[in-house]
């Protein structure tokens, strides 16, 4: 259970790495939105494998097919089902894994929980599942575009290499100009080298993705258990390999004093109210305050190493494992569009929920 | 909306800081559990104000009254409603706040969202709301106790003062022997001094709470959108002032290589399977693996400063504010039982959900 | 579990017949609605026991106390908790029932399901639980009033005595002028005599309640699983003793032909579109069409007879039972406000959900 | 929204009559169940169009394709997605309907609600959507079979022709031996003639389906808002053309006295407890009591008449309409497997929910 995300705008996803296809159903898509198929496909291309030497060599066209809920180019308010075929499975690569547990993968826990597992490529626990999120996120972005809300993520850290400054110090559009998705060209190159080095060693490395939501109106978020940051944290921690979430000043801010971190309210230029600073990360009391919402997500190093590791088999006996599969040495570059997608789902869902707060 | 937490074991909470009472309804409490009222009250005492010089001087008895769902000392499976009276409101203290927005509080966002706000003590956004969580968490702990599952949190950091080592390096029961709730006496004293200093300056400071769940069986967590870490992250980020969540190696782990962080499977002493290390934090693929589950939560410095701050009023005109209310200079010591409570809710809820995975 | 009703506007209820109190929490109440306490109390008075010789002699003041979510007389958008004390329990009346199962009550099934039961007055399965529905319904009606939507129910049948015609043939306000709540005075008197006769014989009788929702705009209802009629049917069948639901032409309409039952669209006086007839009962394809929504609910005879009945005890041995409690000989008159309340919950909830169908 | 049905075992459905395909995702399917594809396809064949002269002449192979959640012939506990292609659309038949509203169809209400509609064959409101229910119901039946629970429905009434007696008076397996699905051959023939007559006249007729669930253990159903009968009523009223639901003695029982309708508890042969009669319909207090659960569903005459009817166009101007599409003169025979499917969803879902009532 729990393959549905969201409250009003809801994605239900399905599919295994080595099954026929992956996909999902989006329920609650607002009616009357024009469907820009090129945009959706392009979002999917941003996460697709094989896009650079830094990612897995699995080749997938990842063409999305939307089969319902759209009439004459516009959404009808009915559920939108979609699927993406799996064409490049090398299931035989996994035959040797049938009886052993890959370290730090979901093999063992799925087997414990369900008493059965699809050993081919991680089955349902494969990152291939995130395709559904990107498609749903792309549809959410189309709706958010009408509302003037944008979501942009980028690679902020790979291993020890960290992009200095905040999102405001960089031209984020530059993130899409290099395979690492870091907006600073020089830093991106160092990150790329580190990832290449890891690949050469059959090892992997972690990283951090930062994300900013701009143009979000005040009022989104549903206290006390649907606070906007809680929804974002939930969304991000469902992504494979994510290990942490922080927003605003986050963990670093715990060392600060209230007098440093408080965001003073000031009049804005239009006679409205704004804040002098935005240490809060655009959310106060669980509700957006109209400032930029920014947060960071930590990703662990990929668990699949292209080197021999010790493990046990189904009977609990010692065994060794050396994957032949095709894997990313660092999940971060391809996770950038996934982080954006999940953020878009949360923001649109909360936008719709917020419409029900008053009766007119 | 969204004042309900959980899927099977569900807490719905209500109440404002300066209303008649706060409380909630727990639905889905397993039937037949003996209700240890002393334990529940004691949990509540752990979060109550005025328990030491480090916390707010608001005096509340915080006696919990359970009014349904219990028959002859045992749970009946019917909803358990409970109330805790507010007795020590000083609502008049807040009259001056009626027309101004406190910096980094929820005043502005509630007003933007609902068009109305209860300005007295933050209304619904007050940390007093967390009473409901502690009561529900205490009931969850009573059920978890039958299952051999324990949840324990402690203060790991206040400002720059950080307890070295991991949860395994300390006797966590010692955390309850000092007002800061740090298991190391010497570190606790330094933390206490820092908090006292902040109080003396009318300032506040942040901190970090660490938490460990022991005895959790393998199999809890519902991929892909109900992964156990996502539920925990969600739970923690709903707590007032929480700014970040990480589990296992968390943010620090992003600099590591896969070969360092992977947890190799090994045979255990009983012929079962365990892991050599537990960098994963007890969860793999969103499902508990039987190891200890550990995570950390970052808390920002409390926004209420007992010093004058600039702000604006309802009309957006510049104003100043200087609270007279009674506030904690650091939220962390009293948040320890709240973190435990939310973790207990998540674990019990997932335990119950996991019962539905197979038909027998 | 499942003590919550609704999706956006949600009632979570609690309480047993012989506990301290019954009540609930309403989440999702729109903000800014003026709270007319007299109206709410009056709704509760309509269902309260002891209001006439036709109902149970249990005397309860049934004063409602709203303890949160209201500030200066208006709803704040925060959860509204409320409770009503139980003051007139005669728990000792039920001591003899501790070990036996009352025929056609919930005693046996609660015991089977939960392994424990509160034998006093049916515990949670008592109709006293419906107090929460009436309070929540009253709040829903206050919101619906702003939208020009009204809900009115009345007694249409008691035993074999049936009010002729449809809701359009009667002045429904007259229903509140007699204890049976039938809008026709003469029919009401015959119904009252039948109920009195039943009471005299220690027996009980069933009946039918009809209900009409007027002023409901087109567009409410969420296909395919949240069709408006499905929500209404669900709501009605949760009421104690309800055995059937039908809307529009209902069961009788199955004998008709399509050419008789179709509602032809015609221009209305204002240049809009209406229907020539309303056999559909105001709902087409699961969505309200702007016409009156009308439906009927069947109620079985009350199971508690004031005469001796055979049964078995906890050990399955034959026993006899003769209640001394205070009971209604016919549930229908007091169920009229409950039917209205549940309908109001459904309509408001669907009104709010419908706001999310488009983004502007 | 609301295209998901169920709480633990959940169907999310998609698809329009004239789109590429219809289908759904089943989440919460218990793991380890063997998937009998022939059985699933056979269930689908029972609802498929064109199976006799009494049904629409639309020809569809309706081959189901299950694309996830199954590994080596058994369910894995992961979501099961499935598709059924639409191959025999005659969309051009509907071109003339683009600007007019078909009487008593969902055209008008969808247009009012969503501001857009797919006019081809009713789009999402088409009964073709029920394919998803039958597939999900077939999977539910496979799980229920392991539990010894069966669900069987049959045609009890067409127009004025009613099968006498109760489900116990007939061999229900005989229902599948004739195209009307009435277990009495002679009555079935009269029903068939009536339907044929209607078809000849371009008219339609309603009917009633009865259903019995056998082998259901005591304990299923979740008071107070998830009572088993409420879930069943909800499920049934989501089916196209359904206008009423009753269980046990239903509407007819309102004329009875409590002394007639009460089901007395008696010892059973195995030292357990049973009831002397089953007027309650197998549910007491919202929870199954171990007896047969039986209920009836009323279906209105199909709204599509093959004759000219008056209506209005999008501008509200008078128009006429005469469908050329292919339609059933009576929905009841093909709705029998749909009623069964929805009942199976409810029972399995409640079986799984009931597992969470106790912790061991």
Vertex A102 angle, CA B246 and A327, to 5°: 80
What percent of chain D clears pLDDT 70, i.e. is strictly above it?
Answer: 98
Which long-range CB contacts under 8 A does B165-173 form with residues at least 24 apart? B166/B294, B167/B210, B167/B212, B167/B292, B167/B294, B172/B212
How high is the pLDDT of residue C327?
80
Residue B360 belongs to some domain of the structure: no
Region of residue B219 (left: phi > 0; alpha: psi -120 to 50; beta: else): left
CA dist., res. C290 & res. B151, Å (int): 54
pLDDT confidence band for A52 (50 / 70 / 90) = confident
Asked whether residue B283 carries a pLDDT value surpassing 70, the answer given is: yes
Asked whether residue D91 carries a pLDDT value surpassing 80, the answer given is: no
**Residue D240 in tokens:** 């196209």
- Supply the Cα-derived Rg of chain B in whole angstroms: 21
**Residue A309 in tokens:** 């590791």
Mutation pick from A223, A266, A276, A310 vs chain B, by most beta carbons of B within 10 Å, is A223
Residue B118 belongs to domain with CATH number: 3.60.150.10
**Residue B51 in tokens:** 């328990």
Which of these ranges, B153-157, B355-359, C185-189, D15-19, has the smallest mean pLDDT? Answer: D15-19
Collapse the DSSP code of C154 into the 3-class scheme (helix H, G, I; strand E, B; otherwise coil) and give the result: strand
Mean pLDDT of chain B: 94
B31 touches B126 (CB < 8 A): no
How high is the pLDDT of residue C55?
76
Query: CA B193 from chain center: how many Å?
Result: 23
CA dist., res. C136 & res. C12, Å (int): 9
Q: In 3-state terms, chain A is what percent helix, strand and coil (to 5)?
A: 35, 25, 45
Burial (CB count <10 Å: 0-12, 13-18, 19+), residue C360: exposed
CA dist., res. B7 & res. B28, Å (int): 9
Contacts of C259 in chain D (CB under 8 A): 203-204, 305, 307
Residue A173 belongs to some domain of the structure: yes
CA dist., res. B81 & res. A211, Å (int): 40
pLDDT confidence band for D122 (50 / 70 / 90) = confident
Mutation pick from D123, D156, D237, D276 vs chain C, by most beta carbons of C within 10 Å, is D237
User: pLDDT (tens digit, 9 = 90+) per residue, D164-174?
Assistant: 999 999 999 99
Beta strands C80-85; C64-66: pairing state: antiparallel
Q: Locate the chain D residue with the closest alpha carbon to C270.
A: D316
**Residue D75 in tokens:** 């369910």
pLDDT confidence band for B182 (50 / 70 / 90) = very high
pLDDT confidence band for B326 (50 / 70 / 90) = low
A120 touches A18 (CB < 8 A): yes
How high is the pLDDT of residue B96?
75
How high is the pLDDT of residue D10?
98
Check D317 against C267: CB less than 8 A apart.
yes
Give Cα separations from C206 to A163, A249, C170, C235, C333 (angstroms).
75, 64, 22, 19, 11
Which of these ranges, D1-5, D38-42, D302-306, has the smallest mean pLDDT? Answer: D302-306
Burial (CB count <10 Å: 0-12, 13-18, 19+), residue A44: buried
Residue C132 belongs to some domain of the structure: yes
Asked whether residue B45 carries a pLDDT value surpassing 80, the answer given is: yes
Say how many residues make up chain A: 360
Give Cα separations from B217 to B31, B150, B265, B289, D317 (angstroms).
21, 11, 16, 7, 67
Q: Which of A8, A78, A358 sits opposite C356 (nearest CB)?
A: A8
CA dist., res. D296 & res. D53, Å (int): 25
Mutation pick from C20, C75, C81 vs chain B, by most beta carbons of B within 10 Å, is C81
Tokens 């890891």 sit at which residue? Answer: A198
Check C31 against A147: CB less than 8 A apart.
no
Residue B359 belongs to some domain of the structure: no
Average pLDDT over residues D45-53: 86
Vertex D92 angle, CA D130 and A75, to 5°: 60
CA dist., res. D116 & res. A76, Å (int): 6
Average pLDDT over residues A103-109: 92
Residue D360 belongs to some domain of the structure: no
Average pLDDT over residues B290-314: 94
Collapse the DSSP code of B126 into the 3-class scheme (helix H, G, I; strand E, B; otherwise coil) and give the result: coil
DSSP of B48-87:
-TTSSTTS--------EEE-SSEETTEE-SS-EEEEEE--
How high is the pLDDT of residue A333?
96
Asked whether residue A325 carries a pLDDT value surpassing 70, the answer given is: no
How high is the pLDDT of residue B315?
87
Q: Model-level pTM greater than 0.95? A: yes
Residue D359 belongs to some domain of the structure: no
Q: Locate the chain D residue with the closest alpha carbon to C257.
A: D205
Asked whether residue C152 carries a pLDDT value surpassing 90, the answer given is: yes
CA dist., res. D295 & res. C190, Å (int): 31
- C-alpha count within 13 angstroms, C-beta hemisphere, residue D178: 20
Enclosing domain of residue B170 = 4-354
CA dist., res. D123 & res. C223, Å (int): 12
Residue A359 belongs to some domain of the structure: no
How high is the pLDDT of residue C325?
64
User: pLDDT (tens digit, 9 = 90+) per residue, D183-219?
Assistant: 999 999 999 999 999 999 999 999 999 999 999 999 9
Vertex C352 angle, CA C348 and C356, to 5°: 160
Q: Locate the chain D residue with the closest alpha carbon to B28.
A: D357
Beta strands D150-158; C150-158: pairing state: unpaired
User: pLDDT (tens digit, 9 = 90+) per residue, D216-245?
Assistant: 999 999 999 999 999 999 999 999 999 999
Q: How many domains does chain B have?
A: 1
Mean pLDDT of chain A: 94
Backbone angles phi, psi at D58, to 5 degrees: -55, 130
Backbone angles phi, psi at D266, to 5 degrees: -140, 160
Q: Is the ipTM of this complex over 0.95?
A: yes
User: pLDDT (tens digit, 9 = 90+) per residue, A206-242?
Assistant: 999 999 999 999 999 999 999 999 999 999 999 999 9
How high is the pLDDT of residue B95?
76
Asked whether residue D326 carries a pLDDT value surpassing 70, the answer given is: no
DSSP state of B200: H
D154 touches D212 (CB < 8 A): no
A119 touches A97 (CB < 8 A): yes
Check D20 against A67: CB less than 8 A apart.
yes
How high is the pLDDT of residue C326?
67
Shortest CA gap C80–chain A (Å): 14
Give which of A39, A206, A19, A234 is closest to A129, Cα–Cα. A19
Asked whether residue D325 carries a pLDDT value surpassing 90, the answer given is: no
User: pLDDT (tens digit, 9 = 90+) per residue, C224-260?
Assistant: 999 999 999 999 999 999 999 999 999 999 999 999 9
Mean pLDDT of chain D: 94
CA dist., res. A247 & res. D233, Å (int): 45
Asked whether residue B112 carries a pLDDT value surpassing 80, the answer given is: yes
Asked whether residue C296 carries a pLDDT value surpassing 90, the answer given is: yes
Q: Which of D160, D271, D302 sits opposite C316 (nearest CB)?
A: D271
Check A106 against B225: CB less than 8 A apart.
no
Residue C360 belongs to some domain of the structure: no
Contacts of C78 in chain B (CB under 8 A): 3, 14, 16, 114, 118, 123-124
Asked whether residue C154 carries a pLDDT value surpassing 90, the answer given is: yes
How high is the pLDDT of residue D45?
95
How high is the pLDDT of residue B323?
74
How high is the pLDDT of residue B325?
63
User: pLDDT (tens digit, 9 = 90+) per residue, C127-140?
Assistant: 999 999 999 999 99
pLDDT confidence band for B310 (50 / 70 / 90) = very high
Interacting residues of D252 by C-beta distance below 8 A, sequence separation 6+:
none
Chain C from 86 to 145: CB within 8 A of any B CB? 113-118, 123-124
Check A109 against B287: CB less than 8 A apart.
yes
State chain B's maximal CA–CA distance in angstroms.
71
Asked whether residue C96 carries a pLDDT value surpassing 80, the answer given is: no
User: pLDDT (tens digit, 9 = 90+) per residue, A276-303?
Assistant: 999 999 999 999 999 999 999 999 999 9
Average pLDDT over residues B31-35: 97
Shortest CA gap A299–chain D (Å): 24
Q: Is the dihedral of CA B260, B261, B264, B270 positive or negative?
A: positive
């Amino acid at each position: 259970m729990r393959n549905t995300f969201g409250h009003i705008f809801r994605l239900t996803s399905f599919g295994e790495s080595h099954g026929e296809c992956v996909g999902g159903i989006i329920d609650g898509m607002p009616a009357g939105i024009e469907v820009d198929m090129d945009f959706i496909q392009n979002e999917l291309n941003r996460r697709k494998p094989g896009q650079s030497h830094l990612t897995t060599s699995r080749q997938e066209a990842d063409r999305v097919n939307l089969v319902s809920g759209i009439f004459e180019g516009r959404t009808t308010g009915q559920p939108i089902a979609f699927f993406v075929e799996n064409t490049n499975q090398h299931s035989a690569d996994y035959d040797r894994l049938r009886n052993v547990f890959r370290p730090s993968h979901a093999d063992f826990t799925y087997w414990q929980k369900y008493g059965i597992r699809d050993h081919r490529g991680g089955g349902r626990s494969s990152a291939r599942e995130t395709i559904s999120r990107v498609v749903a996120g792309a549809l959410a972005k189309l709706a958010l575009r009408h509302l003037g809300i944008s979501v942009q993520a980028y690679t902020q850290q790979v291993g020890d290499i960290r992009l200095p400054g905040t999102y405001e110090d960089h031209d984020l559009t530059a993130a899409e100009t290099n395979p690492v998705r870091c907006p600073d060209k020089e830093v991106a190159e160092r990150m790329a080298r580190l990832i290449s080095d890891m690949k050469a060693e059959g090892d992997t490395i972690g990283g951090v993705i930062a994300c900013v939501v701009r143009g979000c109106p005040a009022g989104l978020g549903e206290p006390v258990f649907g606070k906007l940051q809680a929804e974002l944290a939930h969304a991000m921690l469902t992504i494979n390999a994510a290990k942490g979430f922080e927003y605003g000043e986050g963990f670093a801010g715990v060392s600060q004093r209230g007098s440093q971190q408080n965001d003073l309210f000031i009049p804005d230029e239009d006679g409205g109210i704004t804040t002098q600073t935005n240490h809060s990360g655009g959310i106060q009391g669980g509700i957006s305050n109209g400032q930029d919402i920014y947060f960071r997500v930590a990703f662990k190093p990929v668990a699949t190493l292209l080197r021999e590791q010790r493990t046990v088999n189904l009977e609990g006996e010692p065994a060794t494992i050396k994957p032949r599969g095709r894997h990313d040495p660092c999940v971060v570059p391809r996770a950038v569009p996934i982080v954006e997608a999940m953020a878009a789902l949360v923001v649109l869902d909360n936008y719709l929920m917020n419409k029900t707060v008053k009766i007119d």
